[in-house]
Amino acid sequence: MAAGVALVPFRSPAPLIYSPGEGWYYEPFGTTGGWERTRAKDQLDVAQQAFDARNYSLALRAARRVVRVWPLSDYAPHAQYLLGRCLEADGKSELAFDTYQVIIQQYPKSAEYEEVLWREYTIASRFLNGEWPKLWGYISYPPSMDQPADMFDKIVKNGPYSDVAPHAQLRIGAAREKQEDYPAAAQAYEVAADRYQNQPVIVADALYREGISYAKEAESAEYDQNTAAQAIATFTDFMTLYPDDRRVPQVQRIITALKSRQVQGNFQIARFYENSRKWDGAVIYYNEVLQLDSNSRYAALARQRIEALKPRLQASAD
């Protein structure tokens, strides 16, 4: 019986190996260590060939060894780049982003520096558009807009005047808009408009989105008319600078709605002061109604109330 067992061919399963920073992977039987080389260039060649063949597991290990064994070599920056590409291909977006950040911090003269910024931008955009992040690269959890906002902020800081930076700055605002943090969104758009004044497309988008953010904030502010005024001022700048922009008609409609809200808000404030027997304050806000829109239905009521309050104001003065 024992002899019979001995004659049966036996193949041991591929060994499961753990490598810090890489995780668990299977090493095919009979090849353990066969991918290792004694020179950085040769090791990088293994990584590149494996990557080109879409053998991302082997490419990851080979590239990681270049960075670990020869961190100061001329081959380390590209090996680090391949690490990020492999992690992206494996769907580990956060780990890929962090891997690309190492290039920014440790290899700023890398030939792939500009491409790395765009790859970071693509990763951050996926999270902005709803991709779920993964804990340790494996366990998905609900997204937060803080993550893409932070990623885009890092991209801007990595290269504030790179080609990708203006787009990343705009996306910071977009992330804050999705959070309904409209003051933070408006601030991010304002930075984009101020910093990239030589790029009309960016400035136009920034001013438009800044105005939209202020308008959305004004919708939630019951009596605070400051944000409505900021929205109108920003939209006015937008239309002055870009009168032919296709969004101008929409902006004009929004301004009309905002002014209507301002008129209503000031009329309500005036009524509050009048009910509180603060005649001076009431008249001030009734006059604000007239200045904002002298033809509105609130303007007619404001004129009536001003006339009605004149005797009280006179009595107070005496």
Q: Which residues 6+ apart lie within 8 Å of 268 measured at CB? A: 223
Please give the Cα distance from 214 to 220 (Å, whole number): 10
Lowest pLDDT segment from 26-35, 164-173, 253-262, 302-311? 26-35
Q: Please list the alpha-helical segments (H only) found in 13-55.
A: 40-52
Lowest pLDDT segment from 138-142, 149-153, 194-198? 138-142
Residue 95 lies in a domain: no
Q: Which residues 6+ apart lie within 8 Å of 88 measured at CB? A: 96, 119, 123
Dihedral sign computed on CA atoms, order 275, 280, 284, 289? positive
Please give the Cα distance from 78 to 115 (Å, whole number): 12
Q: Cα torsion for 68, 152, 245, 226, to the nearest 10°?
A: -170
Residue 234 has pLDDT above 70, yes or no: yes
- Mean pLDDT over 197-216 rounds to 97
pLDDT digit string (tens) for 5-63? 444 343 444 455 554 444 444 454 444 458 999 999 999 999 999 999 999 999 999 99
- Check residue 132 and give its pLDDT: 79
Residue 314 lies in a domain: yes
Where does a domain end: 50, 74, 90? 90
Where does a domain end: 66, 90, 114? 90
Where does a domain end: 30, 56, 90? 90
- Mean pLDDT over 229-246 rounds to 96
- Check residue 14 and give its pLDDT: 47
Q: Which amino acid is present at 162? A: S
Residue 96 lies in a domain: no
Q: Which residue has the higher pLDDT, 141 or 83?
A: 83
- Mean pLDDT over 167-180 rounds to 97
pLDDT digit string (tens) for 240-269? 999 999 999 999 999 998 988 888 888 989
Which helix (H) or strand (E) segment holds residue 17: the answer is strand 16-19
Residue 291 lies in a domain: yes
Number of domain units in the chain: 2
Supply the pTM of this predicted model: 0.80
Residue 202 lies in a domain: no
- Check residue 265 and give its pLDDT: 83
Q: At CA 41, angle to CA 39 and CA 44, rounded to 5?
A: 110
In 3D space, the residue among 136, 144, 216 whose CA is nearest the CA of residue 184 turns out to be 216
Which helix (H) or strand (E) segment holds residue 294: the answer is none
In 3D space, the residue among 259, 84, 234, 105 whose CA is nearest the CA of residue 173 turns out to be 234
The CA-atom distances, in angstroms, between 54 and each of 50, 80, 85, 143 are: 6, 17, 11, 29
Residue 138 has pLDDT above 80, yes or no: no
Q: Give the residue numbers spanning the domain of 296.
A: 263-318
Looking at residue 222, the DSSP 8-state letter turns out to be: S
Residue 76 lies in a domain: yes
Q: Is 293 exposed, middle or buried (0-12, 13-18, 19+ CB in 10 A)?
A: middle
Looking at residue 247, the DSSP 8-state letter turns out to be: T
Please give the Cα distance from 38 to 116 (Å, whole number): 28
CB 194, CB 170: distance < 8 Å: no
Please give the Cα distance from 174 to 280 (Å, whole number): 43
Residue 248 lies in a domain: no
Residue 173 lies in a domain: no
